[in-house]
A = this chain, B = another copy of it.
């Protein structure tokens, strides 16, 4: 990635690091190398590590370093294996539901774990950009706000009530600390819903290239069309396309600018 950015600075002005999260000391070392030596302006994490959740205490140093040492953002991409059946009695998955719906679901589950484990309480300056504009949170914000305000009411013991007491803010406020990207398959209506939830300062452009039927151009074109059809002010439009990303990466300009 660093080499591509050096060779084609106009097309690839900046990159973020990929980390070996199954080995936390190695991840911290690679983070240091990528950011301080190669110029990465953030890191990507996947919503689970060999099936383990991101709020596992072993992974805390990674988020702590991104927040406190480097003050750079984390891009979170979902993953759910295609091997998991959707119904317990079945031998295999069907119809690629594991990816089309399962991936955004995993994003939302990972966000929930970061909120309720206290990760965002401990690292209030941590900036996490969620793929597919926040997974399920924007569309289910009313449900999330009202049901999680009663966390513990569906649980057999006091453990979840104590979780709620351990947080200093209502749960929904932590979910709004995340950022969303604009990747919603070109649906302007969904993007409007995502913007209403996160606010225009917490959404950044992304393309999801090349995962579309045209193998690249369609999601870029339709993503741009969805943003441009919302009737945003020039200022807000500029935030989505560039300004918010620059601020997240603490850069004043990018490329030729």
| Interface locus among A17-25, A35-43, A68-76, A92-100 | A92-100
| CB nearest to A186 among chain B residues | B142
Contact between A213 and B142 (Cβ–Cβ < 8 Å)? no
Alpha-carbon gap, A97 to B154, bound state (A): 11
What is the count of identical protomers in the complex?
Answer: 2
Interface size of A by CB at 8 A reads 63
Contact between A109 and B99 (Cβ–Cβ < 8 Å)? no
Alpha-carbon gap, A185 to B147, bound state (A): 9
A108 in the interface (beta carbon within 8 A) = yes
A146 in the interface (beta carbon within 8 A) = yes
Within 8 A of B (CB), among A176-234: 184-187, 189-190, 192-194, 196-197, 211-213, 218-219, 222, 226
Could you say which of B136, B184, B187, B192 contacts A104, with CB atoms under 8 Å apart?
B136
Q: CB-CB < 8 A to A151: which residues of B?
A: 95-96
Do A160 and B95 contact each other (CB < 8 Å), given the known contacts A104-B140, A136-B101, A138-B139? yes
Could you say which of B100, B196, B218 contacts A148, with CB atoms under 8 Å apart?
B100
Measured CB to CB, the residues of A under 8 A from B are 48, 51-53, 82, 86-90, 94-97, 99-101, 104-105, 108-109, 112-113, 116, 132, 136, 138-152, 154-155, 160, 163, 184-187, 189-190, 192-194, 196-197, 211-213, 218-219, 222, 226
